[in-house]
Chain A
Amino acid sequence: MDVVNQLRRQFVDYYTSLHREGFVDDQFTQLQKLQDENSPDFVVEVASLFFEDCEKLINNMARALEQQQRVDFKQVDASVHQLKGSSSSIGAMRVKNVCIAFRSFCEAQNREGCLRCLQQVTHEYSLLKNKLQTLFRLEQQILAVGGSIPVVE
């Protein structure tokens, strides 16, 4: 029982820190609430789709920005727009915020600014992925010892 409580407390602390540090926002909490015994892996599944999206879109942006002659900023913007949408839907706040700045640079057709944002967004995506993997691992550990995952408001 002590192990369960310990793990649960760890989970709550970690979850809370993700919020506090801005990695996730309220939308992520909304998604956690949609998980139940009928759909126990819902959040993990959405997160996987999101990370797939990230990789694909970041590659698109990188390719478009590589063009030395004329960067197709509309194309870059279209990818950023999609990434902004996905990150918003999953509650990936920091990624989303970079996307917002990124779009301004696209609109201004500022290649340097875009490249900086691309770097930032790649960094934030990778950070978030690690964080969420840690969170999901904690969840698995709790379930493995027969505990239930706390719902954090």
Chain B
Amino acid sequence: MARNGAVTWRRRTEKIESFDLSPSDTEEVHVLAVDDSHVDRKVIERLLRISSCKVTAVDSGRRALQFLGLDEEKESNGLDGLKVDLIITDYCMPGMTGYELLKKIKESSAFREIPVVIMSSENVLARIDRCLEEGAEDFIVKPVKLSDVKRIKDYMTRDFRVGERERGRGINKRKLRDSCDLSLSPPSILSSSSPSSQSQSPSLSPSILSATAPCSPSSLDSPTRRLKMTSSE
């Protein structure tokens, strides 16, 4: 999978060479947050701002695509707008789900380099797996905490800085994810695991192979099919 670090690096070189008088916060990460819940939008916005990110929060996948200039019905007006460095989206949304949004972004030549993080209140392995396979950078189980945002920002910031020096660094992250593979243990899940804590990846249950509908509020995911790893209450 292509690395986002390369794009970031190019962008920063351009800025320097063109003596761009853009605001001094060229270092600041700009995050596009997508969530249909007003409460969640407010929380994620605050979490990101307190982590020194610029935030644009929208309430649907459609609006996210419009903001990026990818909406078919509206033509891009040619302006770059604010470059988006990360997209963080809820999974379960009416209209376009976070998964569908992820696919559209990864299908776009202009935006596929942007890392996409999925958030979901439901810890469904099949869902997580599907998102990671589609190119999601990470998967956060809600409720989102400051540590989740810090973690995401950390590897983004590292890419910013490192991107200038060694583009190859991105390979480490890919390796890390690949080694998790279908064992599906991104940090977010481990951090929100129940007392039956597992230092290695959880055992796979047959449910992983079953396809769930993109977003039905877990009507197909009965408790017995889920791993006993709900976020701590």
Does B associate with A? yes
A78:B217 contact, CB within 8 angstroms: yes
Q: For the complex, is B17 an interface residue (Cβ under 8 Å from A)?
A: no
- Count of residues in A whose CB is under 8 Å from the partner chain: 32
Chain A proximity mask over B34-59: 1 for CB below 8 Å, otherwise 0: 00011110110011011000000000
Q: Which B residues from 121 to 155 make CB contacts under 8 A with A?
A: 121, 142-146
- A82 in contact (CB, < 8 A): yes
Shortest Cβ gap from B127 to chain A (Å): 14
State whether A34 touches B142 (Cβ < 8 A): no
Nearest B residue (CB) for A107: B219
Chain B interface, number of residues (Cβ within 8 angstroms): 21
Could you show 7 A-B contacts with beta carbons less than 8 Å apart? Answer: A31-B43, A39-B50, A86-B37, A86-B40, A88-B143, A89-B43, A103-B217
B residues in contact with A42, CB < 8 Å: 46
Within the complex, which residue of B37, B142, B144, B233 is in contact with A82, where a contact is CB–CB below 8 Å? B37
The 9 closest A-B pairs by CB, nearest first: A81-B217, A86-B39, A89-B143, A27-B143, A85-B121, A49-B39, A49-B38, A88-B143, A34-B46
Counting CB contacts under 8 A, is B232 at the interface? yes
Q: Would you call B40 and A33 a contact (CB within 8 A)?
A: no
Q: Is A66 an interface residue (CB 8 A)?
A: no
Return the chain A residue nearest B43 by Cβ: A89
* Complex CA–CA separation, A117 to B223 (angstroms): 20
Do the beta carbons of B232 and A45 come within 8 Å of each other?
no
**Do residues A34 and B39 form an inter-chain contact, with CB atoms below 8 A?**
no
Out of B39, B92, B121, B146, which one reaches A46, CB within 8 Å?
B39
Bound-state Cα–Cα, A44 to B42, Å: 12
- A81-B90 Cα distance, complex, nearest whole Å: 13
Smallest beta-carbon distance B17→chain A, Å: 34
In the complex, are the beta carbons of B92 and A30 less than 8 A apart? no
Is B145 a contact partner of A89 (Cβ separation < 8 A)?
no
Task: Verify A34–B37 contact, CB threshold 8 A.
Answer: no
Q: Contact between B146 and A89 (Cβ–Cβ < 8 Å)?
A: no
A77 at interface by CB-CB < 8 Å: yes
A118 at the interface (CB under 8 A from B): no
The answer on a CB contact under 8 Å between A34 and B219 is no
Cβ-closest chain B residue relative to A81:
B217
Is the beta-carbon distance between A45 and B42 smaller than 8 angstroms? yes
Q: Does A139 contact B (CB under 8 A)?
A: no
Question: In the complex, A53→B36 CA distance in Å?
Answer: 12
Give the shortest distance, in Å, between B45 (CB) and chain A (any CB). 10
A114 at the interface (CB under 8 A from B): no
* Distance in angstroms between the alpha carbons of A46 and B121 in the assembled complex: 18
Tell me the smallest distance from the CB of B134 to a CB of chain A, in Å: 22
Assembled-state Cα–Cα distance A78/B40 (Å): 16
Residue of B nearest to A46 (CB): B42
| Measured CA separation A65–B38 after assembly (Å) | 24
